[in-house]
Amino acid sequence: MSGAGTGYERAMEHFTIATVAEKSPDFRRVLWTGQHTQLVIMTIPPGGEIGEEVHEGIDQILTFVSGTGEARVAGEKKEVVAGDLVVVPAGTKHNFVNTGPNPLVLYTVYGPPEHADGAVHRTKEEADAAEEAGEDEPPTS
């Protein structure tokens, strides 16, 4: 894990996050994993979605970089565009759907980490398969 439980100070990590997110064609790419949080970028293709899910014990904050979509959180629906931020408290059912003609690009922070450190899933199908096979488990301290 990048930094969690290492017992020493690490150098600062710096990302021009909108640029990094825009350049990634991958459905999901873990950029950084700490002991308490994780930074992930996602690109949802036109007509695609993250998929309805619930993260027990994990808060999620999503910031949208480009594209248009629909946030579906706790039974509510709201349009999301570049610059919007959505908070999903732990245990809350949610999904994000791309409703536009271009990719919906976002970055998200999980607390604590939700995915394997350094995970890259090129498509939603690849991500789902990795989760089902137990290959996308967050690091433990």
For residue 92, what pLDDT is reported?
Answer: 98
Q: What CATH code is carried by the domain that includes residue 30?
A: 2.60.120.10
- Structure-token pair, residue 37: 């949080």
Domain range enclosing 76: 25-133
* Phi/psi of residue 13, nearest 5 degrees: -100, 135
- The reply to whether 114 falls in a domain is yes
pLDDT at 3: 47
User: What's the domain count of the chain?
Assistant: 1
List the one residue out of 115, 98, 129 whose CA is nearest residue 39: 115
Q: What percent of the chain lies above the pLDDT cut of 90?
A: 89
Q: What are the residues whose beta carbons fall under 8 Å from the beta carbon of 24, sequence distance 6 or more? A: 41, 43, 105
Per residue in 45-68, pLDDT tens? 999 999 999 999 999 999 999 999
DSSP, collapsed to helix, strand or coil, labels residue 138 as coil
The model's pLDDT over 66-105, given as tens digits with 9 standing for 90+, comes to 999 999 999 999 999 999 999 999 999 999 999 999 999 9
Looking at residue 9, its pLDDT comes to 63
**Average pLDDT along the chain:** 92
Whether 8 maps to a domain, the answer reads no
pLDDT for 134 beyond 80: yes
> What are phi and psi for residue 56, nearest 5 degrees?
-70, 125
> Facing residues of 7 across strands?
none
1 assigned to some structural domain: no
pLDDT digits (tens, 9 = 90+) for 6-45: 444 678 899 999 899 999 999 999 999 999 999 999 999 9
Residue 128: predicted pLDDT: 94
Give a yes or no: residue 82 inside a domain: yes
Residue 78 burial (10 A CB sphere; 0-12, 13-18, 19+): exposed
Element (H, E) at 31: strand 28-33
